[in-house]
Amino acid sequence: MAATNSQTLLLLPGDGIGPEVTEEARRVAAHVAPDLAIEEAYFGGVSYDNFGTPLTDAVMDRAHKVDAILMGAVGGPQWDSVPRDKRPEAGLLRIRKELDVYANLRPAFCFPALAGASALKPELVEGLDIMIVRELTSGVYFGQPKMIEQLPNGERRGVDTQSYTTSEIRRVAARAFELARGRTGRTGRFPGVLSCEKSNVMDSGLLWREEVTKLHAEKYSDVKLDHMLADATAMHLVRAPKDINVLLADNLFGDILSDEASMLTGSIGMLPSASLGEPGVPGLYEPVHGSAPDIAGKGIANPIAAILSLEMVMRWSLGRADVADRIFAAVGKALEGGARTADIGGSMNTRQMADAILKHL
C-alpha cells in the first residue's frame, strides 16, 4: 500500500503489558510519522470487562477500514474462568480469521550487540536472520469439531481438529517463496525455503508437503526447497540456526518454533510479527510476546518488539520503507550504546528503553 497523507493505524493495546509497550510504539510513530492518524480501541480482556466480548463488532468493522492494526497482547489469569468464546484469546483468533491475514511473518534477527544475551553460544547466533512464515488462519486452532465432551463411561474427551485445504497451503507457501526470492546470497544449508510438518504421522502434514512441492515445481523452481519434520526442525534451530533462511510452517508448529527462535535473539521481548492477507487487506501487527501479567503495571517490559512491530507496519502496510529503516537502525544503535531492559541483561525501564531508541531518531 503506497504511502499517503491520510493513512490510519488502529492501535489495540489489549491487556497486561500490552498498553505499556504499545504506548512507546505510539511515541515512536508520532516522532517518525507525525501525519499518521492513530485510533485506539479496547481489545481482549479489557474489552470483555467493558462490553462483555473480547472484540466488539464496531472494532472489527473499523479494523477492516484502516490501513494497519498494531496490537499489544491479550489475556491474563483474571479471565481464565470466563466462557472460552469470551476469553481474550477468542478476540485475537476472530480478528485474524475475519481479516484473513493468513501469512504470519516472524523475523528472528539477532542484533550484534545482543549475541551474548542469546541462550546459545555467540558464534551460533552472530549474524542470525531467519524469516519464519507461519500459516495463521487455519489448522488446529480453527478446525472443527473442537470440543470437550462427556463419554458414556464417565470419562471426558478433548477434541481439536487439524485441517488444511490445498488453497490454504499454497497461498502461504507462495508468500514464503516470494520472500526467499528477495533474501538471496544465503550460504547456509537451507538458503531458500525450509518447509516443516509431520508428514510421517499426520495426513495434514503429508498434504502440506505434497502441495508445497507441487507449487515449487510449478512456479518457484528457482528457489531451493527443503523439507524437514517439525521436531527435527526444532532441534536444528538450536544446533545450527544460521543454516535457515525462510522457515515455512503450519499454525501450530509455526507458533511453537517461532517462540523457540525468540530465545536465539536474546529475549522474546525482541520479536515483532506481521500478519498479512491479500492486497488491500489491512495488515495485523503484534509483538510475539504475551501479556506477561507477572510484570504488568511495573513499567519494566521490553518495548522493542512493539517498536519493531511498528517498523514492520511502516514497511509492509504503509509503504514507508525509509521510515522503517530508520526505526530498525535506531534500535540497533540504542543496543550498541548499552541500552537494555532486564530481560536482555540491563536495568532500564520501559520508558527509558524507548527514550534510548528515540534519541537515535
Of 42, 102, 141, 164, which is the active-site residue? 141
Considering the candidates 198, 242, 250, 285, report the single residue annotated as catalytic: 198
The pLDDT tens digits for 101-148 are 999 999 999 999 999 888 889 999 999 999 999 999 999 999 999 999
Concerning whether 243 is annotated as a catalytic residue, the answer is no
Choose, from 129, 160, 243, 259, the residue flagged as catalytic: 259
Q: Is 294 a catalytic residue?
A: no
List Cα–Cα distances, 12 to 9, 109, 135, 254, in angstroms.
10, 25, 22, 23
Options 85, 222, 231, 322, the catalytic residue: 231
pTM score, whole prediction: 0.93
Question: 96-119 b/e with 16+ CB inside 10 Å = b?
Answer: beebebbbbbbbbbbbebbbebbe
Q: What per-residue confidence (pLDDT) applies to 5? A: 61
- Which structural domains are found in the chain, ordered by start? 1-106+270-361 (3.40.718.10), 129-263 (3.40.718.10)
| Residue-level pLDDT at 231 | 98
pLDDT tens by residue, the chain, 361 residues: 444 468 999 999 999 999 999 999 999 999 999 999 999 999 999 999 999 999 999 999 999 999 999 999 999 999 999 999 999 999 999 999 999 999 999 999 999 999 988 888 999 999 999 999 999 999 999 999 999 999 999 999 999 999 999 999 999 999 999 999 999 989 899 999 999 999 999 999 999 999 999 999 999 999 999 999 999 999 999 999 999 999 999 999 999 999 999 889 888 889 999 999 999 999 999 999 999 999 999 999 999 999 999 999 999 999 999 999 999 999 999 999 999 999 999 999 999 999 999 999 9
User: Which cell goes with 269?
Assistant: 521481548
Among residues 67, 250, 255, 343, which one is catalytic? 255
Active site residue 141: yes
In the annotation, is 198 catalytic?
yes
Active site residue 222: no
Residue 187: predicted pLDDT: 87
| The pLDDT value given to residue 266 | 85
